[in-house]
Amino acid sequence: MVRRIELIAAEEGPALQGKTIDPRILDALRLVPRHEFVPEGLRGESYADLPLPIGCGQTISQPFIVALMTHLLDLAPDSVVLEVGTGSGYQAAVLAQLVRQVHTIEIIPALAASAAHRLSSLGYANVSVRQGDGYDGLEEAAPFDGIIVTAAPGHIPPPLFQQLKPGGRMVIPVGPRFWRQHLMVVERDPEGQVRTRELIPVRFVPLTRSR
């Protein structure tokens, strides 16, 4: 799986600006047992570079996209990160290998409960799972060094940008429901101003709201 990620990364020059995936991220991907985060009937495909259904109309992201989005966050070991869209918990588990604390929000109660149990049983003690509407972020734990959004809204949610630290980054797919979207990097500069970069076309499930 990791070798395949490296091969795809070599072809994605614009997204990576000519760089390679951070080796720390590749090591994290080697350590996280992806088969634990997919339904039992799909475990034979766990390490293929494919998104897979996890129930409730949601998916676990393609491993390359997990690697790319994590790389684009540009995190340090003492970083505190917010993930919007826990799903099965795989992205949170990868982040947990790299940072001090991961806060993750899932709007679907069944997925939030199963992800919390799975992450706890696998020993990811630095991941906190919340059930709720991720559009509004998690103000009580803000500000964040990085925010990663694993479902696509039609625009960048203002509450999430406001919860970024100066110098922080958000990686988010933006675009219409079930149509052409783009992966974007949103940076908050030291003066609090926004800078955005549009990268590769992607297709994510839509960001679900509670209202």
Catalytically active residues are 61
The four Cα atoms 108, 178, 14, 25 give a dihedral, to 10 degrees, of 20
DSSP sequence for 99-143: SSEEEEEESSHHHHHHHHHHHHHTT-TTEEEEES-GGG--GGG--
Q: What are the strands, taking DSSP E only, across the chain?
A: 52-55, 58-60, 80-84, 101-106, 127-131, 144-149, 164-174, 181-188, 194-202
